[in-house]
Amino acid sequence: MQRIGVFVCWCGTNIAGTVDVVKVAEALRTEPGVVFSDNYQYMCSQAGQDMIKDAIKEHNLTGIVVCSCSPRMHEATFRKTAAAAGLNPYMVEIANIREQCSWIHKDMPTGTEKAIILGKAAVAKVNLNTPLTPGQTPVTKRALVIGGGIAGIQTALDIADAGFPVDIVEKLPTIGGKMAQLDKTFPTLDCAACILTPKMVDAGQNENIRIFSYSEVEEVGGFVGNFSVKIRKKARYVKEDICTGCGLCTEKCPQKKVPNEFNLGMDNRRAVYIPFAQAVPKVATIDPNYCTMLKTGKCGVCAKVCTAGAIDYKQKDEIIEEKYGAIVAATGYNPISMNKFDEFAYSQSKDVITSLEFERLTNAAGPTAGKLLRPSDGKHPHTIVFVQCVGSRCSHDASKGKEYCSKICCMYTAKHAMLVRDKYPDTEVYVFYIDVRTPGKAFDEFYRRAVEEYGVHYIKGMVGKVTPEGDKLKVLASDLLADKQLKIDADLVVLAAAIEPDKSARPLATMLTASMDTNDFFTEAHPKLRPVESPTAGVFLSGTCQGPKDIPETVSQASAAAAKVIGLLCKDKLTGNPCVASSNELMCNGCSSCEKVCPYGAITYEDKEFRMPDRTTKLRRVAKVNEAVCQGCGCCTVACPSGAMDLKGFANEQIMAEVDAICK
Amino acid sequence: MQVNENFKPLIVAFCCNWCSYAGADLAGNNRLNYPAEVKIIRVPCSCRVNPMFILRAFQRGADGVIICGCHPGDCHYTSGNYFTRRRMSLLFSMLDYLGIERERTRVEWVSAAEGAKFAATMNEFVEQVTALGENKRLEDLRCKQ
Q: Which residues pair with B67 in a beta bridge?
A: B14, B107
Interchain CB distance below 8 Å, A105 and B36: yes
Number of Cβ within 10 Å of residue A42's Cβ equals 15
What's the distance, CA A587 to chain centroid?
43
Please give the pLDDT value at position A358.
97
Residue B30 lies in a domain: yes
On chain B, the residues whose CB falls within 8 A of the CB of A104 are 27-28, 31-34, 36, 119
Distance from CA of A421 to the nearest CA of B (A): 43
Which chain A residue is nearest to residue B43, measuring alpha carbons? A650
Cα–Cα distance measured from residue A78 to residue A64, given in angstroms and rounded to the nearest whole number: 9
Interchain CB distance below 8 Å, A660 and B60: yes
Architecture of the domain defined by A334-500? 3-Layer(bba) Sandwich (3.50)
Task: Please write down the HEC assignment for all residues of A508-565.
Answer: HHHHHCCCECCCCCECCCECCCECCECCCCCEEECHHHCCCCCHHHHHHHHHHHHHHH
- Domains identified in chain B, total number: 1
Q: Which residues pair with A329 in a beta bridge?
A: A146, A541
Number of Cβ within 10 Å of residue A34's Cβ equals 23
Scan residues 8-47 of B and list those with Cβ closer than 8 Å to A: 10, 12, 17-19, 21-22, 24-25, 27-29, 31-34, 36, 39-45, 47
Query: Could you give the residue ranges of the DSSP H alpha helices within A286-424?
Result: 292-296, 301-305, 355-362, 409-423
Which chain B residue is nearest to residue A508, measuring alpha carbons? B74
Cα–Cα distance measured from residue A278 to residue A285, given in angstroms and rounded to the nearest whole number: 15
Q: Does B129 touch chain A (CB under 8 A)?
A: no
Cα–Cα distance measured from residue A584 to residue A581, given in angstroms and rounded to the nearest whole number: 10
Interchain CB distance below 8 Å, A523 and B47: no
Interchain CB distance below 8 Å, B28 and A99: yes
Distance from CA of B68 to the nearest CA of A (A): 14
Interchain CB distance below 8 Å, A633 and B45: yes
- Those residues whose C-beta lies under 8 Å from the C-beta of residue A269, and which sit 6 or more positions away, are A250, A258, A259, A260, A262
Closest among A373, A402, A417 to A517, alpha carbons compared: A402
Residue B128 lies in a domain: yes
Which chain B residue is nearest to residue A648, measuring alpha carbons? B44
Angle at alpha carbon of residue B48, lines to B47 and B51, rounded to 5°: 90
Omega cis (within 30) before A134: no
Query: Could you give the residue ranges of the DSSP H alpha helices within chain B?
Result: 20-29, 51-59, 80-98, 115-132
Q: How many contacts, defined by CB atoms under 8 Å, are there between A and B? A: 157
pTM, two decimals, is: 0.84
Cα–Cα distance measured from residue B104 to residue B95, given in angstroms and rounded to the nearest whole number: 10
User: What residue type is assigned to position B119 of the chain?
Assistant: A
Residue A303, helix vs strand vs coil: helix
On chain A, the residues whose CB falls within 8 A of the CB of B123 are none
A366: left (phi over 0), alpha (psi -120 to 50) or beta: beta
**CA distances (Å), origin A592, targets A73, A467, A624, A644, B78:** 37, 68, 11, 12, 20
Query: Could you give the residue ranges of the DSSP H alpha helices within A284-402?
Result: 292-296, 301-305, 355-362
On chain B, the residues whose CB falls within 8 A of the CB of A647 are 44, 48
Which chain B residue is nearest to residue A656, measuring alpha carbons? B53
Contact of A413 with A388, CB cutoff 8 Å:
yes
User: What residue type is assigned to position A119 of the chain?
Assistant: G
Q: Which CATH number do you get for residue B44?
A: 3.40.50
Q: pLDDT band at residue B2, thresholds of 50, 70 and 90?
A: low
Closest partner CB to A638 (pick from B50, B61, B73): B50
Q: Which of A403, A512, A522, A633 is the best mutation test for B, with the most CBs of B within 10 A?
A: A633
Please give the pLDDT value at position B3.
59
Number of Cβ within 10 Å of residue A657's Cβ equals 20
Please give the pLDDT value at position A487.
96
Which chain A residue is nearest to residue B20, measuring alpha carbons? A515
Interchain CB distance below 8 Å, B40 and A96: yes
Contact of A490 with A385, CB cutoff 8 Å:
yes
On chain A, the residues whose CB falls within 8 A of the CB of B27 are 99, 104
What are the backbone dihedrals phi and psi of residue A269, each rounded to the nearest 5 degrees, phi first? -125, 180
Which chain B residue is nearest to residue A526, measuring alpha carbons? B22
What's the distance, CA A608 to chain centroid?
46
Strands A258-259 and A226-233: unpaired
Closest partner CB to B48 (pick from A111, A599, A650): A650
Closest among A610, A611, A393 to A519, alpha carbons compared: A393
DSSP per-residue codes, A436-492: ----STTHHHHHHHHHHTT--EEEES-EEEEEEETTEEEEEEEETTTTEEEEEEESE
What's the distance, CA A283 to chain centroid?
29
**CA distances (Å), origin A396, targets A344, A407, A431, A437:** 18, 18, 22, 20
Cα–Cα distance measured from residue A151 to residue A168, given in angstroms and rounded to the nearest whole number: 11
Q: Is A417 exposed, middle or buried (0-12, 13-18, 19+ CB in 10 A)?
A: buried
Q: Which of B29, B32, B42 is the best mutation test for A, with the most CBs of A within 10 A?
A: B42
ipTM score of complex: 0.95
What is the mean pLDDT for each group of 10 consecutive residues in chain A (664 residues)?
95 95 96 96 96 96 96 94 96 96 94 97 96 92 97 98 98 97 94 95 97 96 92 96 95 95 95 95 96 94 95 96 97 94 93 96 93 94 96 86 95 97 96 95 96 96 94 96 95 97 95 88 87 92 96 97 97 92 93 91 90 90 90 94 95 96 91
Distance from CA of B67 to the nearest CA of A (A): 13
DSSP A31: S
Closest partner CB to A71 (pick from B42, B52, B73): B42
DSSP A502: -
Closest partner CB to A638 (pick from B27, B48, B70): B48
What are the backbone dihedrals phi and psi of residue A57, each rounded to the nearest 5 degrees, phi first? -70, -45
Number of Cβ within 10 Å of residue A123's Cβ equals 27
Q: pLDDT band at residue B144, thresholds of 50, 70 and 90?
A: low
Question: What is the residue-averaged pLDDT of chain B?
Answer: 92
Interchain CB distance below 8 Å, A663 and B10: yes
Cα–Cα distance measured from residue A33 to residue A6, given in angstroms and rounded to the nearest whole number: 10
Residue B1 lies in a domain: no
In CATH terms, the fold of domain A4-126 is Rossmann fold (3.40.50)
Closest among A496, A462, A475, A469 to A428, alpha carbons compared: A475
Distance from CA of A472 to the nearest CA of B (A): 45
Q: Does B85 touch chain A (CB under 8 A)?
A: no
On chain A, the residues whose CB falls within 8 A of the CB of B85 are none
Helix (H) or strand (E) holding A567: helix A551-569
Closest among A240, A175, A220 to A321, alpha carbons compared: A220
Residue B75 lies in a domain: yes
What are the backbone dihedrals phi and psi of residue A332, each rounded to the nearest 5 degrees, phi first? 75, -160
Q: pLDDT band at residue B5, thresholds of 50, 70 and 90?
A: confident
On chain A, the residues whose CB falls within 8 A of the CB of B134 are none
Residue B123 lies in a domain: yes
On chain B, the residues whose CB falls within 8 A of the CB of A634 are 43-45, 47-48
Interchain CB distance below 8 Å, B31 and A633: no
Omega cis (within 30) before A254: no
What's the distance, CA A400 to chain centroid?
24
Cα–Cα distance measured from residue A383 to residue B123, given in angstroms and rounded to the nearest whole number: 54
Cα–Cα distance measured from residue A74 to residue B48, given in angstroms and rounded to the nearest whole number: 23
Closest among A129, A224, A136 to A648, alpha carbons compared: A129
Residue B6 lies in a domain: no
Interchain CB distance below 8 Å, B51 and A638: yes
Helix (H) or strand (E) holding A328: strand A326-329
Contact of A174 with A243, CB cutoff 8 Å:
no
Q: Which of A655, A656, A660, A664 is the best mutation test for B, with the most CBs of B within 10 A?
A: A655
What is the crossing angle of helices A71-84 and B20-29, to 10°?
100
Angle at alpha carbon of residue A327, lines to A323 and A330, rounded to 5°: 140
Cα–Cα distance measured from residue B41 to residue B61, given in angstroms and rounded to the nearest whole number: 16
Please give the pLDDT value at position B143.
65
Task: Please write down the HEC assignment for all residues of A67-132.
Answer: EECCHHHHHHHHHHHHHHCCCCHHHEEEEECHHHHHCCCCCHHHHHHHHHHHHHHHHHHHCCCCCC
On chain B, the residues whose CB falls within 8 A of the CB of A501 are none
Q: Which domain holds residue B42?
A: 11-144
Architecture of the domain defined by A147-181+193-227+318-332+502-569? 3-Layer(bba) Sandwich (3.50)
Which chain B residue is nearest to residue A118, measuring alpha carbons? B39
**CA distances (Å), origin A121, targets A79, A124, A658:** 19, 5, 5
Contact of B130 with B122, CB cutoff 8 Å:
no
Distance from CA of A524 to the nearest CA of B (A): 10
Helix (H) or strand (E) holding A568: helix A551-569
Closest among A390, A388, A357 to A373, alpha carbons compared: A357
Which chain A residue is nearest to residue B24, measuring alpha carbons? A100
Residue B42 lies in a domain: yes
**CATH 3.30.70.3270 for domain A581-648:** yes
